[in-house]
Structure formats: C-alpha cells, structure tokens
C-alpha cells in the first residue's frame, strides 16, 4: 500500500472575525466539525488506513528555518505569502489513488475544508 498526505486547506479569511473559533463561525460549529473529524479518524483506524493525523497552528505562529548556510537563519511567520494554508493533515495508507481520493472527500466533508492529496515519494533509501 502507498502512503498519502491529505492536507487540510484553510483560508485566513475564516480567522479574521475574532468571534470565530479556530476558523469556525461559532463554538458549536467548531465542536461539530471536531466531532465529525473524530468519527472520520475512527473510521480510518477501523478500516486500516490511518497512519497519523494532527492539526496545525496558524501561519503567524510559524518559524522558518534556513539551515543551508553555516549559520542558520530563523524567521518568524510563514515563508509563503498566501491567504490559504495547511491547517492540519492525515497520513494514510491506501491501495491506490482512487481510494485516497475517496477518503479525502470524506475527510473534507468531516472537517469542512478543502483537502489536497499528495502521494509520498517512493524513493529507495540507497541510491
């Protein structure tokens, strides 16, 4: 089975209103989304697809590390200026892309966000 990254895509406009709760219009909406996402996670585990999942903080809380030079450079905030960002993710194992896409659609419905599907590289450790 191949592994896939299902990235939950959020939009900064969901976080502009201070009354919003983690990008949801109300606490009730946030709790409903989290409950639906929990049920989806339980299904992934029960069906043998689950590897790992978690949510991420907003881009403003990010730190970019550039360690390519002798002295690393640490920069606050996101590297890319964009209104969309990765808000969370699942790592799943699925027999093929069609199954991964079907699961991504279910995850998108559960969390109320768009989900990007990307396969992990299948590169041998020894080249």
Residue 127 lies in a domain: no
Name the pLDDT band for 114 (thresholds 50, 70, 90): very high
What is residue 127's predicted lDDT score, i.e. its pLDDT?
61
What is residue 25's predicted lDDT score, i.e. its pLDDT?
87
Residue range 16-31, pLDDT digits in tens: 888 888 888 888 998 9
CA angle 97–102–104, rounded 5-degree value:
90
Number of compact structural domains in the chain:
1
- Evaluate whether 104 touches 115 at the Cβ level (below 8 Å): yes
Q: Crossing angle of helices 27-46/97-111, nearest 10°?
A: 150
Name the pLDDT band for 124 (thresholds 50, 70, 90): confident
Q: Residue 110, Cα to own-chain centre: how many angstroms?
A: 13
Name the pLDDT band for 109 (thresholds 50, 70, 90): very high
Residue 125 lies in a domain: no
Burial of 86 (C-beta count, 10 Å sphere; 0-12/13-18/19+) = middle
Residue 13 lies in a domain: yes
Domain that holds residue 31: 2-119
Residue 6 lies in a domain: yes
> Concatenated DSSP letters for 36-51?
HHHHHHHHHHHTT-EE
Kindly report which listed range (44-48, 61-65, 68-72, 108-112) carries the lowest average pLDDT score.
61-65
Output the CA torsion sign for 61, 66, 67, 70.
negative
78-83: average pLDDT:
76
Q: Which residues pair with 119 in a beta bridge?
A: 4
The chain-wide mean pLDDT, for the chain, equals 91
């Amino acid at each position: 089975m191949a592994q896939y990254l299902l990235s939950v895509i959020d939009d900064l406009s969901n976080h502009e209103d201070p009354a919003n709760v983690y990008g949801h219009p109300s606490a009730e909406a946030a709790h409903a989304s989290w409950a639906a996402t929990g049920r989806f996670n339980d299904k992934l585990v029960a069906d043998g697809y689950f590897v790992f999942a978690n949510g991420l903080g907003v881009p403003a809380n990010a730190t970019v590390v550039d360690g390519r030079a002798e002295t690393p450079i640490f920069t606050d905030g996101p590297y890319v200026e964009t209104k969309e960002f990765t808000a969370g993710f699942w790592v799943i194992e699925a027999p093929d892309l069609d199954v991964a896409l079907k699961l991504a659609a279910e995850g998108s419905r559960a969390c109320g966000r768009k989900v990007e599907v990307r396969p992990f590289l299948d590169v041998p450790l020894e080249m």
